[in-house]
Amino acid sequence: MAILKLENGTILTDIEDIAQELASLNIQLNRWPVGDNPDLRRLLAQDSLDEDEKEQILKALDSYFEQLQQTAGYQSRDLIVLHPGIPNLDQLLAKFDQIHTHADDEVRYVIDGEAIFGFVRSDRTQVELTVQPEEYINVPAGTEHWFYLTPTRRVKAVRYFISTEGWIPQYTCTEKAVRI
């Protein structure tokens, strides 16, 4: 269940209320079931995955990729796996915990763990959205945002790309509010 924290302390958990709060940013948030495939569930329970295991997961979820290819022109996908055992995890995450934009949409389908996206709204207030398993988020190109992990420090997410070059962060001069 997604959780949206507003700068004034309000917390929203209803997906329709969250969608309304994020409507001005055109952010899409949906629930996509992972399913009950025992092999997939076994892989999702592992901290680390090798490339073959990642590909098994991606293939098991390719119906969503095929849909995005047809409706939005997505060309590729990968699986990002972050957990405390990754060397230099903090340094890796630091570049995304600064406010930035991308030339292409940032699209993630969280299939295990959780992560937080922060957004700068048009009125310059800031909000943070915790995205949890079976939640799909599309952050439109040009949207000021940041990303970090929750205290569990683990997430598995499918990333969908029109072009991987479009995901290079373009840092803005916007300062983040104190963690919301």
| CA 133/CA 34 separation, integer angstroms | 8
Residue type, 2: A
Say whether 106 counts as a known binding-site residue.
Answer: yes
Say whether 83 counts as a known binding-site residue.
Answer: no
Q: Flag whether pLDDT at 52 surpasses 80.
A: yes
Q: pTM for this one?
A: 0.93
pLDDT at res. 163: 81
- For the stretch 95-141, pLDDT in tens is 899 999 999 999 999 999 999 999 999 999 999 999 999 999 999 99
Q: Flag whether pLDDT at 180 surpasses 60.
A: no
pLDDT at res. 70: 94
Say whether 102 counts as a known binding-site residue.
Answer: yes
Lowest mean pLDDT among 19-28, 123-132, 159-168: 159-168
Q: Which CATH architecture has domain 3-171?
A: Sandwich (2.60)
Q: Flag whether pLDDT at 166 surpasses 90.
A: no
| CA 169/CA 33 separation, integer angstroms | 29
Per-residue buried b or exposed e for 71-109, using 16+ beta carbons within 10 Å of the residue's own CB: eeebeebebebbbeeeeeeeeebeebeebbbbebbbbbb
Say whether 145 counts as a known binding-site residue.
Answer: yes
